[in-house]
A and B are shown apart, each in its own frame.
Chain A
Amino acid sequence: MSTGWLVGSVVIAVIVAPLIGGLLRGIDRKLTAHMQGRIGPPIIQNFYDLIKLFGKKPMVAGKPQLVFAWGYLFLIITAVVFFALRQDLLVVLFILGFAGVCLVLGALSVKSPYSQLGGHRELLQMLAYEPILLLAVIPIALKTGGFPITNIFEYGQPLLPNLWLTFIALVIVLDIVMKKSPFDISSSEHAHQEIVRGVLTEYSGPYLAIIELAHWYELVLLLAILGLFWIVGSLWWLSILTPLAIWFILLITDNICTRLTWSWMVKFAWGVGISLIALNILVVNLGWM
């Protein structure tokens, strides 16, 4: 692959990813509104919100808060860039993990009951999804002969037919990372619930905008990882449609489910997620798939 191509894909990833992310969040709000019998905001409302938030006067409860907000955003962008450069998938996930640590530290740095509660719960969410996210890389690597994303492109066939068990596990991860019901444990969409807005409670104005922007990148990155399962072959367009379909299903679950407890989440994620991937690795090892 030529250098020009790589630079191009990095630029596109950094610029286009938030646009897609913001749009998806807009569609999310519209669809949710329709499901609840409301008209809902325009699809590009989230862009308006972001611009407005950036224009507000900065207010923080302490310096660590803003340091970690910037850290969160920049590390997620780094993960996106590493992904666009087709680097080692495990490294991409490690950078994403560091970003998650920044979000939690930002929340825990304020002596606020809601922010503390949210931060600690976010840690439990990470405990639930991180092992699965990291483990999901193993069957991919076993199939394609290595951990760099380049290998997936050079593999020549789509991964999903062999690795659909891993794919399902990743869908669980996506739901926990998106903090959608039943996994909206560390922060809620609306501020009128018992945890206020959890990890996000103490963020306002431009710093809330930074976090929101980072969320858009994160959403697109995770959907792109799901897309890797179809990326090669004649059906490559499925690598765009499948993640979107999954995302739509998660929206529906969000609207029909209620929040569950963290202990249920950890048990469910570890029990189901790890078993699915372990099964998948065994099946791949035995040569059945």
Chain B
Amino acid sequence: MVAILLALAIGFPILTGVICLGIKNHKARAGVVSLTTLVLIVTSILFLRQGSFPYSPPPTWDWVILVLDYVILAYFLFVAIRDFIQRGMSRHNVLAIILTLASGIPLAVFEFSKAGYLPLEAEPTLYIDHLSIVMCLIISIIGSLICVYAIRYMKDHEEHLHVEKTNQPRFFFFMLIFLGAMNGLVFSNNLLWLAFFWEMTTLCCYALIRHDETPIAITNAFRALWMCLIGGVGFTLAIIFAWNSPLHTLSLMTIIESGAVACPVLLLPLALLCLAGFTKSAQVPIQGWLLGAMVAPTPVSALLHSSTMVNAGVYLLLRIAPGFQGTNLSTFVAVYGGTVFLVTSILAISQSEGKRVLAYSTIGNLGLIILCAGINTPLAIACGIMLIIFHAISKGLLFLCAGAIESHIWSRNIEDMEGLAARLPILAGITIAGMLSMLVAPFGVLITKWGAMEAASGIGVWSTLVVILLMAGSGATTVFWTKWAGRLLCHSPLPGPRKPEPIIPLYHGVLILLIACAVVFSILITPIYNGVVAPALAEAGYGVAFTTGHWFLKSPIGIFAAWPIFVVVALALIIPSLRIRTKPEESQAAYMCGENVEMGADEFVAVADERTPLKTGGFYVETALGEKNLNRFVIPIGIVFLIVLFAISVFPLP
């Protein structure tokens, strides 16, 4: 039974992905993709019912993984060299070549000469616990919804770009095997398996970013490739150091259970795994690849940001957090996560391109999860896990909203979205609700932020710093979300009836499902905590984070009852916005010092009675907070952090 479940979660999407590669017919492909998503969703729910279990497939599979790992690395080398020949030398392809070799050669030397025998096994090969089940649910449900949405989006996308020969078979091939690889990643216990699935997600990410094959897409794909390969190098070194440690193991569980306090030699492999996590989660100073990934079709961004890729990094950090509990590395991780959260939240203020705002917000929230892993108390870890869930829902939703908006206005600029609430009320309403779900109480993201703030309020200089970073960053998030929502709402009173919004079932259906998830899951936060988060904490050896009763969360130091706020929001915001109709005689034009032309004309009478159009715009504070200005500090700060990471793991202070 469990073997079948694993085959369905990992193998099935890879199989159907390969099938997609051969299907030319749009309808048939849509059917295959829909079937896969259905199977994945059902499988993930069966995993939840099954609970945790170990599983070791026959040793043949170890050989398969071993070979495929080198196949992927060889492919990276091949594409980088091909790019070198075709487009000439660039920083990106040279670094990709160097880093592929740097992760492949040491691994080969280690496996084929130093280790002594092959294949290297770890008992168990796969281990399924509640943390991996949470991840599997996110990957399978949200990732699947994104794939369903992509069926329609890619059709619109190719029509808009006037693509002669469709590239969709390849696109869905990579989308589906991405989901399979992510499921494999979260279930792996053998570091070699983990490293293989890790490289496989890098491969999918690279292929999907360069999907449109424009020069900028290819450049950004190579940037993503070499930046993620830094993590690959980290993984290779972590494997070698873990094997050479007194534990002599490749089992992640054994390493974590031993911990760096009992066995200080483990600090270095753990730090290297942290580095791998940081690169995958696009943390400063390597945030560039995720921003560059925006050139890809929007479902790719949605997939990368919510349910796959970047989640692998924070998953790994939460997974290994018990291993570095009580060390300086833990403090470092907390301060680093907090710093990333603050700087990216501030950088997001100056962005006028919607998807870049979303990207910075993603990096910031991942920083927040990393901060939780660093604080390393039951409360913090619980909030980190819940933040992955709620962030995945809301961010997946927002990217899909951005994609749907794009298919109407063919722009990603926030200024072009002015007044969308009047033209596309349903879409704009869902988008604004999605933004609020990232920003305000009582939604899940804020409940976890509350928990993180309270968990961070410990004793000591470092926790003071962490809590300041957290609060300041939190203030900055208010600015960019509210500003964007305000641009969507900004319009003049409309004279006469408006055109009804065109309903696209695959877009609106998926969006409504996701926003419903964001609301329902926030209300159901106590059952979610008790059902999946509390068992995950217990399995990782943490104590209890919350006691729950009457639908509130109570920690030793705080209490949050979210449902009364939901009642108020329903009464004060939702019912009026759905029920109230403003009468025409009650609406008035905006105040323009009495020089309005007429109702709804968006014009005023200027000098010499000339009709002048009214223009409004958002504040982006670009001179003070723009990327150009801030990146001068942000990148060096990030580099200093990485140097400190190695300093504290090579020379651990007591």
Contacts and interface: CB of A to CB of B under 8 A. Distances in A.
B580 A94 contact: no
A126 interface: yes
A78 B467 contact: no
Given A74-B571, A105-B489, A147-B557, A67 B576 contact: yes
B421 interface: yes
Interface stretch (A17-25, A117-125, A233-241): A117-125
Contacts of A70: 572-573, 576
Contact of B564 (A78, A88, A124, A263): A78
Contacts of A82: 564
Nearest to A270: B472
Contact of B489 (A64, A147, A274): A64
Nearest to A197: B591
A108 B414 CA distance: 14
Interface in B572-608: 572-573, 576-577, 580-582, 586-592, 602
B475 A281 contact: no
Given A70-B573, A111-B616, A285 B464 contact: yes
A80 B272 CA distance: 48
B614 to A, nearest CB: 7
Interface string B468-508: 10011011101100110111011111000000000000000
Interface residues of A, number: 70
A102 B492 CA distance: 19
A61 B493 contact: yes
Interface in A79-138: 82, 87-88, 90-91, 94-95, 97-98, 100-102, 104-105, 107-116, 119-120, 123-124, 126-128, 130-131, 134-135, 138
Interface in A262-288: 263, 270, 274, 277-278, 281-282, 285
B602 A111 contact: yes
A105 B482 contact: yes
Contact of A67 (B436, B475, B573): B573
Contacts of B457: 138, 141-142
Contacts of A57: 586
A65 to B, nearest CB: 9
A130 B479 CA distance: 11
A contact face: mostly helix, strand, loop, or mixed: helix
B572 A126 contact: no
A63 B459 contact: no
B590 A115 contact: yes
Interface string B38-63: 00000000000000000000000000
B653 interface: no
Contact of B586 (A59, A109, A270, A277): A59
Interface in B234-288: none
Contact of A127 (B453, B476, B558): B476
Interface in A132-171: 134-135, 138, 141-142, 145-148
B57 to A, nearest CB: 47
A138 B573 contact: no
Contacts of A68: 573
A62 B493 contact: yes
B453 A90 contact: yes
Contact of A60 (B491, B568, B577, B586): B586
A201 interface: yes
A286 to B, nearest CB: 9
Interface string B142-183: 000000000000000000000000000000000000000000
A127 B624 contact: no
Given A146-B556, A263-B624, A196 B591 contact: yes
A58 interface: yes
Nearest to A57: B586
A110 B440 contact: no
Nearest to A129: B475
A64 B461 contact: no
Contact of B471 (A75, A101, A134, A201): A134
A32 B543 CA distance: 57
B558 to A, nearest CB: 4
B490 to A, nearest CB: 5
A27 interface: no
Nearest to A100: B478
Nearest to B346: A127
B445 to A, nearest CB: 11
A71 interface: yes
A66 interface: yes
A97 B487 CA distance: 19
Contact of B478 (A75, A88, A127): A127
Contacts of A277: 468
Given A59-B586, A91-B441, A148-B559, A282 B482 contact: no
Contact of B587 (A59, A94, A97, A134): A59
B474 A120 contact: no
B602 to A, nearest CB: 7
A212 interface: no
Contacts of A91: 441, 450, 558-561
B460 interface: yes
B419 interface: yes
A111 B441 contact: no
A62 B590 CA distance: 10
B348 interface: no
A174 B591 CA distance: 30
Nearest to A98: B440
A218 interface: no
A184 interface: no
Given A67-B573, A285-B460, A59 B450 contact: no
Which of B490, B564, B565 has the most CB atoms of chain A within a 10 A radius of its CB?
B490
B416 to A, nearest CB: 15
B591 A74 contact: no
Interface string B442-457: 0000100010011001
B652 interface: no
Contacts of B624: 263
Contact of A88 (B559, B569, B571, B589): B559
A202 interface: yes
A202 B475 contact: no
A261 B478 CA distance: 20
Contacts of A100: 478
A111 B614 contact: yes
B541 interface: no
Contacts of B483: 108, 120, 123
Contacts of B112: none
B469 to A, nearest CB: 10
B633 interface: no
Given A130-B478, A135-B471, A277-B468, 6 more contacts: A61-B492, A63-B581, A101-B478, A111-B616, A114-B591, A142-B457
14 contacts: A59-B586, A59-B588, A62-B489, A64-B489, A91-B450, A95-B565, A97-B478, A102-B573, A105-B485, A110-B590, A148-B559, A202-B590, A281-B464, A282-B464
What 10 A-B pairs have minimum CB-CB distances, sorted nearest first? A108-B486, A112-B590, A74-B572, A109-B489, A147-B558, A130-B475, A94-B441, A98-B440, A131-B475, A120-B619
